[in-house]
Amino acid sequence: MKGKNLLRIILMVLTVFNAATAQADWAFNFQTPVTPLAEDTLHVHNQFFAIIITLFFVTLGILIYSILNHRKDKGQQPATFTGPTNRWQWMLVIAPFVMLFLLDYVVMGIPAYHAAVSMEDTKTDADMVLKVTGSQWKWQYEYPAEGIKFVSALKTTQDQINGKAPKGENYLLEVDNPVVLPVNKKVRILLMSSDVMHSWGVPAFGVKRATVPGFLRETWVKIGKPGTYRGQCAQICGKNHAFMPIIVEAVSEEKYQEWVAQKKAESAAASASADKVWAKEDLMQHGHEIYEKICISCHQPEGKGLPGAFPALAGSKIVNGPFLDKDGRLIKDGHLDRVMNGKPGTAMQAFKNTFSDIDIAAIVTYERNSFGNSMGDMVQPSQVKALR
Ligand SMILES: [Cu+2]
């Protein structure tokens, strides 16, 4: 009688569990997979989960049954033997071993091997290459074949982060420049880092790969469905680790080509307007936008920095010092040199690699005339261009 009740309880738990996981859009389920890798790994996960849960309930059932029925007060007498003494007992020792061996190395081993091998297969039939560089605290993307290169940074405003404005729908999961990729194309993704370890992770792609300074790592995607896919840095990388999301827009081949053309036109236009003379207000405004997006994470609002970690810009000797010598050459360790070439061994990167001439001129001009700094001077984009 008791054994029947126990069986009923186990069946009930399994039924409830099964009903809960069967709902595809259940809040605690995985995101819908859109790449072969994501489908493969999710399939392996589900299969293993079923095996594990079955083993769990079978062992738990035997355990509970034994506790209830093999009790001293039921008159059970303990056996006195030690070790297997007959063929039947040897069977009880060997059978679980054989079962687990088959489960691990055949039933679970073959699909796991298949998934692991396909994860590493980045080169076969790759249609294009995307380079991803993690840096504190933004992503840099490059399309080598198209000559497109841009920085993708958090778009959520400081006011939202500081609770001064209501949070948007995609709070901390929105960027200024999303990655755009064509659907149904195998994209080989090369990953690197300019400072510390980061990890480029997009759950719907089944991809999460660390970017390691000094190493080139790879993964790939072949996105089956157009859409906006969001991810985050998945390797703790310092103070603003939570503020470097990833967005991939998967679009049709035609839309992708349109985007490529538009990006190329934008960079051509930027290069052309670097040659004209800029008004100080325009540089200040553009510099403010970049500061709020990029520089603020270390140098802080109001340019006060973080003592011991990131230097203040307000009242800084470098910011309030000269940046070009009388022959128009870059002064070593001057303001412009620091922004363009960075400071090796610190979080201060060489921004000439990622920022345009206009960006660099604007940010230097902005810093020299903000936070109580009042140098009154400015840098023209053409000057930056000449220094490259
Ligand atoms: Cu991170």
**Domain assignments of the chain as residue spans, ordered by start:** 2-71+83-120, 128-269, 274-387
- Cα 379 to ligand 1 centre (Å): 33
Residue 37 has φ and ψ, to the nearest 5°, of -60, -45
Q: How far apart are CA 33 and CA 24, in angstroms?
A: 11
- Cα 154 to ligand 1 centre (Å): 13
Spell out which residues have Cβ within 5 A of ligand 1, the ion: 198, 233, 237, 241
The model's pTM is 0.72
Query: Count of CB atoms within 10 A of residue 244's CB?
Result: 24
- List, in sequence order, the alpha helices (H) in the chain: 2-22, 36-69, 87-102, 109-120, 158-161, 253-273, 280-290, 296-299, 335-341, 357-368, 381-387
Q: Give which of 125, 128, 158, 157 is closest to 143, Cα–Cα.
A: 128
pLDDT at 22: 52
pLDDT of the chain, 388 residues: tens digit per residue? 455 677 777 777 776 666 555 544 556 788 899 999 999 999 899 988 998 999 899 999 999 999 999 888 888 888 887 777 888 888 988 998 998 899 888 888 888 898 889 888 888 788 999 999 998 889 999 999 988 888 898 988 888 888 888 888 889 999 989 999 999 999 999 999 988 999 999 999 999 999 999 999 999 999 999 999 999 999 999 888 999 999 999 999 999 999 999 998 888 887 777 788 888 888 888 888 888 878 888 888 888 888 888 888 888 888 888 888 887 788 888 888 888 888 887 888 888 877 888 888 889 999 998 888 888 888 888 888 888 7
Q: Give which of 220, 150, 148 is closest to 189, Cα–Cα.
A: 220
- Cα 234 to ligand 1 centre (Å): 6
In this structure, which CATH number among 2.40.30.60, 3.40.640.10, 2.60.40.420, 2.60.120.10 belongs to the domain 128-269? 2.60.40.420
Q: Give which of 322, 304, 321 is closest to 313, Cα–Cα.
A: 304
Q: Are 40 and 117 in contact (CB under 8 A)?
A: no
DSSP 258-327: HHHHHHHHHHHHHHHHTSSPPPHHHHHHHHHHHIIIIIHHHH-GGG--BTTTB---TT-TTTTS--B-TT
Q: How far apart are CA 291 and CA 276, in angstroms?
A: 23
Q: List the beta bridge partners of residue 148.
A: 143
Q: List the beta bridge partners of residue 383.
A: none
Q: Are 197 and 237 in contact (CB under 8 A)?
A: yes
Q: Return the amino acid letter for 5.
A: N
DSSP single-letter state for residue 371: T
Tokens 């849960």, located at residue: 53
- Cα 226 to ligand 1 centre (Å): 27
- Cα 137 to ligand 1 centre (Å): 7
| Cβ within 8 Å of residue 312, ≥6 positions away | 299, 300, 303, 304, 305
Q: How far apart are CA 130 and CA 180, in angstroms?
A: 10
Q: How far apart are CA 108 and CA 188, in angstroms?
A: 28
Q: How far apart are CA 23 and CA 253, in angstroms?
A: 33
- Cα 241 to ligand 1 centre (Å): 4
- Cα 277 to ligand 1 centre (Å): 38
- Cα 178 to ligand 1 centre (Å): 17
For the domain made up of 274-387, the CATH class stated in words is mainly alpha
pLDDT at 136: 87
- Cα 221 to ligand 1 centre (Å): 21
- Backbone dihedral region for residue 355 (phi beyond 0: left; psi -120 to 50: alpha; all else: beta): beta
pLDDT at 141: 94
- Cα 185 to ligand 1 centre (Å): 28
CA 133 from chain center: how many Å? 11
Apex CA 232: angle with CA 164 and CA 188, to 5°?
145
- Cα 138 to ligand 1 centre (Å): 9
- Cα 290 to ligand 1 centre (Å): 20
